[in-house]
Structure 1
Amino acid sequence: MTANDAISLTAPDGATATLSLHGGQVLSWKPAGGAEQLYLSPRSAFTPGKAIRGGVPVCFPQFAEGGPLPRHGFARTLPWELVQQEQGKDDALAVLRLRDSEATRAIWPHAFELELSVRVGGSSLDVELACENLGDVPLQFTAALHTYLRVGDLDAVSVEGLAGLRYHDSIKQAEALQRMDLLLTGENGVLDLDRVYYGVKERPLLVTEGRRQVVVRHQGFEDAVIWNPGPERCAKLADMPPEGWSEMLCVEAACVGRPVELPAGESWVGRQSLRLE
């Protein structure tokens, strides 16, 4: 990644975030007086057409392999443009934009505009994704903010707020019910996680590791994805170090179970807010 691709945000209180125009992606988040909260793989490929492994990739207009497009769509591999950057009284803001092109219309025949708004300040990071249908026919998409949270000891991590929700387990290709909080115990099969939890909506999720807690809130996104490749799958990922799985947990705001239906001329907005407690 070149210096021209990097956007640095610094709030008046010292909270920072770094964004990449490649993929329209948050790469780093440090709350005021705090340590790095996001995982970015040291083997990430910062090259045109390749996805960056870590931070907060934008999955659009397709999540995973749920359609004919490349995995997780094309937004995370295309160049975005910076349309606004400012420091306010309490925070700092950047707005990035991606519009349809000949390349996107060749595989997804829709006119659209995406805006990613990133606001950092205090102990919070807010990431908002907006999509406007610029065409004259309805469009449909699935999407996610594929947030890689950094962890120090995965065995000590739990995720509260999922109890009572149904989920799709992509590893077992089965539907199940989450009966209690999700505990990451380091057992084989528990760590190889790839789950879509349906109907999370605005219920807060609490990711706890020892005394550190990150509260994750969604607006506009119906679902949540919890993902960790585990040691075996991680070893097969060229852009992750073999031990990378033990340093991250993806907790993602997502619209997967029910695609977003967007009439011509209409807009959709989804937001993920992270707060370090």
Structure 2
Amino acid sequence: MPLNIVHDTDGLPRIILTEPTGSSAEVLLDGGQVISWKNERREELLYRSTKAIWKPPKAIRGGIPVCFPQFGNFGSLEQHGFARNRLWSLDSDPSPLPLANNQSSVDLILKSTEEDLKTWPRRFELRLRISLSAGKLTLIPRVRNLDSKPFSFTFALRNYLSVSDISEVRIEGLETLDYFDNLMHRERFTEQADAITFDGEIDRVYLSTPSKIAIIDHEKKRTFALRKNGMPDAVVWNPWDKKAKALPDFGDEDYKTMLSVGSAAVETPIVLKPFEEWRGHQELSTVSSSYCSGQLDPYKVLYGFH
């Protein structure tokens, strides 16, 4: 089936993915970025800033930006790398993944340009498959080394999630883990809380995380389940009030209704030999959860839903 590509009022071409139950996703070729994911009730599941800047090559604040070949300032390049500021192309040859000919998947590709080689002299192909199914959004990133020598990189998919009230949200699955605290010069700490809750700014990279993490939104009675492979770390970010006011592309009050929980490979860079390929896998799904009868069992969320 042909891809549905539309041009909205902002002029940026976007790909619309739909599936039979009525959910949808929107993907920009600019940055290879998912900017919308709606459930079958047309509720937006991803956060997008009320002050988002829609001018390439500026990455849009929200959705799911792709951070490559560097995440954060863990390297010499611009923060979060350059992939999110480049124009991607449709990928006509996503092998060895099987061709996705239905309307609910799209394959994108970003290749190194001569301009990129000046700042990061490595020849690569970065591919991204985005697939939509009922209650689920799957991203499969792949990086291939086209150079004659090995190179290393860090990587992240930053998932900006829409929540009802940040003070009513908790994350389960990161207890007892070590993390880098970016608010404390990347100093390493160990998480002491039973679950992560929010009452101020947070900017952390949790290390060696499990493949499943639950983001539980009490007020919306909804849980996001994040499943990931090939990206052992998890990025947790909320700017809170002061930082929100200082960021030009972030609404002053937006911090109350968003939380970024991303899949990442940061602590240990990925090393690729010539013509070797790395593949990651991320699956975001939603589960309805009721709190009338007491606590939701996080293990049911993490292990009981497929």
Q: Sort the TM-score into its range (normalised by shorter chain).
A: over 0.9
Match of 2:131 in 1: 119
2:153 counterpart of 1:141: yes
Cα contact 1:142–1:260 (8 A) shared by 2: yes
Match of 2:117 in 1: 105
2:171 counterpart of 1:159: yes
Match of 1:240 in 2: 250
Q: Which runs of 4+ in 1 moved over 4 A?
A: 1-4, 84-87
Q: Deviation digits for residues 45-82 of structure 1, max 9, x if unmatched?
A: 22122111000000000111111111100000000012
Q: Structure 1 residue aligned with 2:60, among 52, 60, 69? A: 52
2:180 counterpart of 1:168: yes
Larger radius of gyration: 2
Cα distance in 1 for residues equivalent to 2:193 and 2:272? 35
Cα distance in 2 for residues equivalent to 1:159 and 1:58? 22
TM (norm. structure 2) is: 0.84
Match of 1:27 in 2: 35
2:188 counterpart of 1:178: no
Match of 1:195 in 2: 204
Q: Secondary structure at the match of 1:234?
A: helix
Q: What amino acid is the match of 1:42?
A: T
Shift of the alpha carbon at 1:34?
A: 5.0
2:77 counterpart of 1:65: no
Q: Secondary structure at the match of 1:42?
A: coil
Q: Secondary structure at the match of 2:22?
A: coil
Q: Deviation digits for residues 110-144 of structure 1, max 9, x if unmatched?
A: 11001111111111011111101111111110010
Cα distance in 2 for residues equivalent to 1:135 and 1:183? 42
The change in CA–CA distance for 1:185 and 1:193 in structure 2 (over 3 A counts) is closer
Cα distance in 2 for residues equivalent to 1:183 and 1:165? 11
Give unpaired runs (5+ residues) of structure 1: none
Q: Secondary structure at the match of 2:73?
A: coil
Q: What amino acid is the match of 1:194?
A: D
Shift of the alpha carbon at 1:3?
A: 4.9
User: Sequence identity of aligned pairs in percent?
Assistant: 36
Shift of the alpha carbon at 1:31?
A: 2.4
Cα contact 1:208–1:214 (8 A) shared by 2: yes
Shift of the alpha carbon at 1:169?
A: 0.8
Shift of the alpha carbon at 1:171?
A: 0.4
Q: Deviation digits for residues 96-121 of structure 1, max 9, x if unmatched?
A: 11000011101000110011111111
Cα distance in 2 for residues equivalent to 1:23 and 1:240? 18
TM (norm. structure 1) is: 0.93
Cα contact 1:32–1:121 (8 A) shared by 2: no
Q: How many residues align?
A: 270
- The structure where strand makes up a greater share of residues is 1
